[in-house]
Structure 1
Amino acid sequence: MTDPILCTRDGSILTVTLNLPDKRNPVSDPAVIDALERALLAADADIGVRAVILTGAGSAFSSGGDLKAMKAGSGLRAPLPAQTRRNYREGIQRLPLLFHALEVPVIAAVNGPAIGAGLDLACMCDIRIAAENAIFAESFVKVGIVPGDGGAWLLPRIVGFSKATELALTGETIGADEALRIGLVSRVVPGGELMAAAREIADKIAANPPHAVRMTRRLLREGQTATLANILEMSAAMQSLAHATRDNDEAIDAFLEKRPPRFTGA
């Protein structure tokens, strides 16, 4: 049986690859959801993992849901609507909650089409870069459904309400250049350079003190919904923790001594 994802660790960087290329890497498959959850929770628990790169095997990043599994009585769609609700909650909706709760940064290296839930999966990540041939679509309306995996929450926070509404209500497909223009991705590179570009970003993140990186990531996520007063309170508490690390002292010493810092995660 094909592993639904592949995990490769290189130093402090973990690369997670969606590995159902024959199906264009759907993310609604329970095996994929379970495997992603296991891999990302393990990475989050390991302070030695400084960043995660998420990409897809084959020609697609992710086609989203498996349309063949959307026929009545199969996949998420149960004969009883109340059970369908439970299937979404216990299935694909675990992913946005998982990504939101992580502290380890995740970079989406979008190597090809990111369609429907595939686009939303990319939006769950902290940073998105795209190959020149990547395409994107919030295309749920094209198959008569709504974004069931949090896309209506995720996409407006990245591209703004008006553009997110346009993409979601038309279901249109956009290319990598347009994705860059609207801020959906932060960088577009030739396909052959995608993983190297993702690794470059990951290495820059990994060069910083890991506790400070993870707490900063947590603050950014909480800042999407919290009040300013709550974020300031949380920032003060986390700052007290950051000041107590040896990495904070090392950063200051290295700056004053004009040498590269050596961060250990302590």
Structure 2
Amino acid sequence: MKSVVHIEEIEPEIVLLRMQDDVYKNTFSKALIDELIDAFDAIQANQTYKVVILTGYDTYFASGGTRESLLAIHEGKEKFTDKNVYSLALNCDIPVIAAMQGHGIGGGLIMGLFADFVILSRESVYTTNFMKYGFTPGMGATCILPRKLGISLSEELLITSANYRGADLEKRGVPFPVLPRVEVLNHAVELAREIAEKPRYSLVLLKNHLVAPIRQELPSIIEQEVTMHEKTFHQQEVRERIHNLFGK
């Protein structure tokens, strides 16, 4: 079976993690989730890596839940917490750069925002489209969005579920580099080289200190998101919206 997550040490101490599920366009298929978890486990076990670059392929970074997974949650067969893919970057000991060269949709955008550094593409679409399907946000969105973007823009993104190009977010003052797509990965590599100049032990210690408040806060917010899902996800209207939106 063809791998959909590729891990490569592109330079000493710098590891590139590329998501490339071209069949499902980097939606959270079972293969993508399982291979991402395995890849981060392998990175955690390697004591020489100092920094991770997480990226996608072509025009896709990560595209959120599949139709099947959303319907399974609607039917009560699954929860988004069954496999924790959303906070892999947060839980990684070493710094993670999300080189979001392509579209970041729903949970795909949220997964990227849990990274320590975020780089956006001017051309790509970024959206937290949970409410477009009629259910409240999950994947830790209500935790990380306000921390990274501020409450006002976060409420706008989460409630309206609108699509934003990277260029639109740049005008709104997001605190990330927003570059032409072709420049995103190169910028990430340059940043990774700067990070890799530092001692690994110091990087791990400082990252753990900086993200400790988010790690502490996240479980209770996830619990609240699951509770909201239990109230909103099982509506018949949600099922109809899933079918209609995926059918387009």
Verify same fold: TM over 0.5. yes
Partner of 2:193: 203
Change (3 A) 1:68 1:184: farther
Change (3 A) 1:153 1:3: same
State the shift of 1:175 in Å.
1.5
State the alpha-carbon separation in 2 of the partners of residues 51 and 96 from structure 1. Answer: 18
State the alpha-carbon separation in 2 of the partners of residues 59 and 105 from structure 1. Answer: 24
Query: Does residue 129 in structure 1 map to residue 129 in structure 2?
Result: no
State the alpha-carbon separation in 2 of the partners of residues 219 and 205 from structure 1. Answer: 16
Higher RCO (Cα < 8 Å, 6 or more apart): 2
Q: Is the partner of 1:22 in helix, strand or coil?
A: coil
Change (3 A) 1:145 1:226: closer
Change (3 A) 1:185 1:31: farther
State the alpha-carbon separation in 1 of the partners of residues 103 and 203 from structure 2. Answer: 30
* Counterpart amino acid of residue 5 in structure 1: V
Alignment of 1:12-31 (within 5 A): 12-27=13-28, 29-31=29-31
Q: Is the partner of 1:158 in helix, strand or coil?
A: helix
* Counterpart amino acid of residue 77 in structure 1: I
**Aligned residue among 109, 116, 125 for 2:106:** 116
Partner of 1:84: 78
Q: Is the partner of 2:85 in helix, strand or coil?
A: helix
State the shift of 1:134 in Å.
1.9
Partner of 2:246: none
**Kept after mapping to 2: 8 A contact 1:129/1:185:** no
Q: TM-score, normalised by structure 2?
A: 0.80
Q: Deviations over 1:25-63 (max 9, x none)?
A: 012x22212211111122122221111111112221111
State the alpha-carbon separation in 1 of the partners of residues 172 and 16 from structure 2. Answer: 27
Q: Deviations over 1:103-126 (max 9, x none)?
A: 111101111110101111111111
- Where structure 2 has 5 or more consecutive residues not aligned to the other structure, the ranges are 218-248
Change (3 A) 1:61 1:20: same
State the shift of 1:69 in Å.
4.4
Partner of 2:66: 66
State the shift of 1:201 in Å.
0.4
**Kept after mapping to 1: 8 A contact 2:100/2:118:** yes
Amino-acid identity (%): 26
Partner of 2:47: 47
**Kept after mapping to 2: 8 A contact 1:21/1:59:** no
> Which structure: larger Rg?
1
* Counterpart amino acid of residue 132 in structure 2: K
Change (3 A) 1:44 1:177: same
State the alpha-carbon separation in 1 of the partners of residues 127 and 135 from structure 2. Answer: 14
Change (3 A) 1:225 1:109: closer
State the alpha-carbon separation in 2 of the partners of residues 63 and 98 from structure 1. Answer: 16
Change (3 A) 1:52 1:142: same
**Kept after mapping to 2: 8 A contact 1:130/1:185:** no
Work out the number of aligned pairs and report it: 216
**Kept after mapping to 1: 8 A contact 2:59/2:124:** no
Change (3 A) 1:102 1:183: farther
Query: Does residue 7 in structure 1 map to residue 7 in structure 2?
Result: yes
State the shift of 1:181 in Å.
4.5
**Which sits farther off after the overlay, 133-142 or 181-190?**
181-190
**Aligned residue among 84, 109, 134 for 1:144:** 134
- Where structure 1 has 5 or more consecutive residues not aligned to the other structure, the ranges are 228-266
State the alpha-carbon separation in 2 of the partners of residues 112 and 138 from structure 1. Answer: 15
* Counterpart amino acid of residue 81 in structure 2: R
State the alpha-carbon separation in 1 of the partners of residues 101 and 130 from structure 2. Answer: 21
Q: TM-score, normalised by structure 1?
A: 0.75
Q: Deviations over 1:50-90 (max 9, x none)?
A: 1111111222111111135433xxxx4364x2x433xx222
Partner of 2:32: 32
Query: Does residue 169 in structure 1 map to residue 169 in structure 2?
Result: no
